[in-house]
Structure 1
Amino acid sequence: MALERCTIHMWGLEEKPSLISPESIGLYWFLNGYYSKLQVAHEIEFVFSNNTDLSPNEELPLLVLGDNKISGFVNIVDYLMQDLTSEIDDKGTALLQSSLLQYTSSDLTVLTNYQLYLNKENYETFTRRHFCRLLYWPMWYNTPLHYRAVARERCEDLLGYLPSEEEEALSGSTEPSELAQSKTFKVTQQNKRKGKEELQNAKFNMQYLNKLSEHLKVWIQVRERAMSEKVIPADLLMWANIYVQLQLPDKDKVATHLSQTLGSDFFATLQKQLDLCSHFEPIIPFREPTFQEQGNAIMSIYNKGAKYL
């Protein structure tokens, strides 16, 4: 019986998944390192199209099988593994593993998005510039701004209120009364505003680090109760999130904090696992996106128009 062909669209560049998407990285590891060793039900190919217009909810990764479209690491993994014989006899354990995967997809991924879009150093020196390589003009300009706004909204539940772009701009604007002041006074005021901004960034970064270690401690406790010596999907998604955070410009602070709070032995073991996953030999075939799959200006206009027809 011929296998059904699935096409999986991801964020990626030069035949590798992109750091802006821990779910794309986790799915890439899952398919090349673990799923390929199971009794597969589908023939799969990768396409790094970087085109969220292809997805019903405008998110990647996306699995396309005929007219069916399934988005997100959790949903795609559930679909690919639904026909496999489960080795988990205890329904409670299976439910625990599923809950752990959902927890990883929500809370840990939100913290990764903080690092990508709200950590000033990471955003300005990596994320914003990287979108210029992933997307066509003019999408590369607005897309990171959109994701930054989404990340700010999602992070508020974990980190508290985060000022918007407009509020940050207003806080740094020059008052009319300052325009007539001396150059020395203006420089002093600018330095004060810069210092205030740096303190605010440091505060949010510290809150992020504390939340990261807290969530990982919970993750580790639940994982121990999941009772599986084999790699499960929640492992891969957690590893992918930490891998992204340890590759960004502000990575040293993350590495130091995790080593101190989780223990140097655990952190060393984690690093070895990340190194193993990041060096998987690609097994799943890759192809370039077609013109219709690309996120170019023409297809972007076409896809947006098609949604209203």
Structure 2
Amino acid sequence: MSEFSISVYLWGETGKPSLVSPESIALFWFLNSYYGDYKSIEVVFANNTDLSPNEELPLLVENGKKWSGFVDIVSYLMEKMQNNDDVETTLLKDGLLEFTGELSVLTEYQMYLNKINYETFTRKAFSQLLHWPMWYNTPMNYRTRARQRCSNTLGYLMHDDDPDSLESLELESTRLPQSKAFQATQDRKMRSKEELQNVKHNLQYLTRLKDYLRTWSQVRNSIPHQNDTIPADFLLWANLFVQLNLPDGEKVGQQVKDAVNDDFHQLVQSKIDQLSSLEPRVFQRDPIFQEQGNVIMSIYHYVHKFV
């Protein structure tokens, strides 16, 4: 029996939250630099979504009850803290927190649909966080989900099952007799189409990010006591921290500068630097066997769903 009343499960390793989960990073920062009753909490880097009812981390467990996701977890914890805000300010903070959660869609695009980031970072990161065979399937499943979530934000995103997908075109071309020269031409066309798709969606992403940050800043500036940190700040900073530190993150920094003003960019960078180097004060422990995402426990959780 743990001596702590609350257990928080995050994506991470070696005592730090992982870039694969901006919400884990945001909650880690929130607990270690903002939340007052941190001594009642333990952090566990279990990297096991089977523990969560909606198969998402971060996860908070208290007395058998569970809360998933940064917004729901922080909303629950904030209820425990004294709140001196008036009704209008509380509604603005809550609304901004919900709105900030939408930034995760753009972060997912960068992690799973930006080809450079996905191939050079994301797949490798999961191989260090998960046991076999989950480390192979998980990023592919998240990529499918990201494609669905980003379709409304960035428009149509080519899928492997689409009739005009690159894989389908390549398969169809192999069925036809063709010379080496013809095959080389087809390969160039497919690569060119893929590159054009990537350029198109990267430009759409950058435009959406700039528009999002402008709206976020306008709402944030309308909240009294602007120098006071609020939960929505942690989620914004964590998402930008991830996007800036991915292999293709240099372009993101310029968008942050252009979106609002240089003061906003400097404040964001200063807070990110400060929080990413802070000394943890919340107790951390390694996951026990039942909390790990190993094959045996994955089978257990899968069977348990149908019992």
Pairwise TM-score range, normalised by the shorter structure: over 0.9
3-state SS in 2 of match to 1:246: helix
Deviations 1:231-278 (A, max 9, x none): 000000000000000010100111122223333332122111110111
Distance in 1 of aligned mates of 2:261 and 2:228: 23
Post-superposition shift, 1:298?
Answer: 0.2
1:61 aligned residue: 58
2:150 aligned residue: 155
3-state SS in 2 of match to 1:127: helix
Deviations 1:268-306 (A, max 9, x none): 221111101111111001110000000000000001111
1:98 aligned residue: 94
Question: Contact 1:5–1:65 at 8 Å: present in 2 too?
Answer: yes
1:214 aligned residue: 211
Instruction: Could you tell me which runs of 5 or more consecutive residues in structure 2 were left unpaired when the two chains were aligned.
Output: none
Distance in 2 of aligned mates of 1:285 and 1:50: 17
The one-letter amino acid paired with 1:200 is Q
Give the RMSD, CA atoms, in angstroms.
1.5
Post-superposition shift, 1:137?
Answer: 0.5
Q: Does 1:122 align with 2:117?
A: yes
1:132-211 matched pairs, under 5 angstroms: 132-167=127-162, 168=165, 169-176=167-174, 179-211=176-208
Question: Contact 2:38–2:282 at 8 Å: present in 1 too?
Answer: no
Pair 1:84–1:257, CA change in 2 (3 A): closer
The one-letter amino acid paired with 1:222 is V
Q: Does 1:81 align with 2:78?
A: yes
- Report sequence identity in percent: 51
Deviations 1:15-64 (A, max 9, x none): 110111110000000001111xx2x2861011000000000111100011
Deviations 1:116-146 (A, max 9, x none): 1111111111111111111100111111111
Pair 1:265–1:85, CA change in 2 (3 A): closer
Post-superposition shift, 1:75?
Answer: 1.2
Question: Contact 2:39–2:282 at 8 Å: present in 1 too?
Answer: no
Number of equivalences: 301
The one-letter amino acid paired with 1:211 is R
Post-superposition shift, 1:164?
Answer: 1.2
Post-superposition shift, 1:76?
Answer: 1.0
Distance in 1 of aligned mates of 2:220 and 2:41: 29
Deviations 1:92-123 (A, max 9, x none): 11101100000111x20111011111111111
Pair 1:41–1:256, CA change in 2 (3 A): closer
The TM-score with structure 2 as length reference comes to 0.94
Q: Does 1:71 align with 2:68?
A: yes
Distance in 2 of aligned mates of 1:176 and 1:300: 39
1:27 aligned residue: 27
The TM-score with structure 1 as length reference comes to 0.94
Pair 1:271–1:171, CA change in 2 (3 A): farther
Distance in 2 of aligned mates of 1:283 and 1:92: 33
Distance in 2 of aligned mates of 1:141 and 1:45: 29
Distance in 2 of aligned mates of 1:277 and 1:123: 25
Distance in 2 of aligned mates of 1:299 and 1:66: 22
Distance in 2 of aligned mates of 1:108 and 1:25: 14
Distance in 2 of aligned mates of 1:176 and 1:10: 45
3-state SS in 2 of match to 1:166: coil
Distance in 2 of aligned mates of 1:22 and 1:246: 12
1:45 aligned residue: 42
Question: Contact 1:111–1:155 at 8 Å: present in 2 too?
Answer: yes
1:231 aligned residue: 229
Distance in 1 of aligned mates of 2:17 and 2:4: 23
Question: Contact 1:4–1:41 at 8 Å: present in 2 too?
Answer: no
